[in-house]
Chain A
Amino acid sequence: KQEVTQIPAALSVPEGENLVLNCSFTDSAIYNLQWFRQDPGKGLTSLLLIQSSQREQTSGRLNASLDKSSGRSTLYIAASQPGDSATYLCAVNGYSTLTFGKGTMLLVSP
């Protein structure tokens, strides 16, 4: 059974800092991995999707990496802004079934 762990559970940083969120998974037989953002009381917004054959994906200030063999992914956020404050969820796809971590709650203070 796939298990996904996200560290840290919560993170508070001042505006402008670069930061890294971590995601680990137990079964490396995955098809892809998605990073989502969830604002309080809202649904999930897809940030980045990395196929299992890829090493990284970039979108603006976000960069996600994937090391399938070691069961790890990281989400790098450059020059953080208060608007980045949200919960970030990692989900691995074992063919149509997404298994989620519990998320990292990020607070960026002005």
Chain B
Amino acid sequence: EAGVAQSPRYKIIEKRQSVAFWCNPISGHATLYWYQQILGQGPKLLIQFQNNGVVDDSQLPKDRFSAERLKGVDSTLKIQPAKLEDSAVYLCASSPTEGVSEQFFGPGTRLTVL
């Protein structure tokens, strides 16, 4: 069974530029999550999708971050414009259903904002 796929693996941009990350969850998983992990911290949830609907985006900085999962499968996370403090690893995870099922994580995208 293929795992969660993410691309790119690394990205370096200047502040105020825009960037997009892509995630393809495990086949059949209805729930998709985006997390932000700053160096030395645990991952923090940014947004959760159930199929193509948003379940929780309470910690997403909506003035600069956006995410979509149009067909209920893969998802993109965008930052525009980027700030220095957005430098982090962006992790995508998926689970079979919402709620108490196990979450499976992708390899992450390491973003450096200069």
A96-B31, A100-B44 are known contacts; what are 19 more A-B pairs with Cβ within 8 Å? Answer: A31-B100, A42-B107, A42-B108, A43-B91, A43-B106, A43-B107, A44-B43, A45-B105, A91-B42, A93-B100, A96-B48, A96-B55, A96-B56, A96-B95, A96-B98, A97-B48, A99-B42, A101-B42, A102-B42
Contact mask A78-110 → B, CB, 8 Å, 1/0? 000000000001010101111111110000000
Is A41 interfacial (CB-CB < 8 Å)? yes
Contacts of B61 in A (CB 8 A): none
* Secondary structure class of chain A's binding surface, majority of residues: strand
Contact of A102 among B41, B93, B103, B108 (CB under 8 A): B41
Decide yes or no whether A13 CB sits under 8 A from chain B.
Answer: no
Residues of B within 8 A of A (CB): 4, 6, 31, 33, 40-45, 48, 55-56, 91, 93, 95, 98-100, 102-108, 110
CA distance A90 to B69 in the complex (A): 28
The answer, yes or no, to whether A46 is at the interface (CB within 8 Å) is yes
* B contact residues around A89 at 8 Å (CB): 42-43
> A interface, how many residues as a size bin?
20 to 34
Q: Nearest 8 pairs between A and B by C-beta?
A: A100-B42, A44-B105, A31-B100, A43-B107, A43-B105, A43-B108, A96-B99, A49-B102
A89 and B41 CA atoms in complex are apart in Å by 10
Q: Please, how many angstroms separate the alpha-carbon atoms of A5 and B9 in the complex?
A: 29
**Which chain B residue lies CB-closest to A41?**
B110
Bound CA–CA A51/B99 (angstroms): 12
Which residues of chain B are near A100, meaning CB under 8 Å? 42-44
Q: How far is the CA of A97 from the CA of B55 in the complex (A)?
A: 10
CB neighbours of B33 from chain A (8 A)? 98
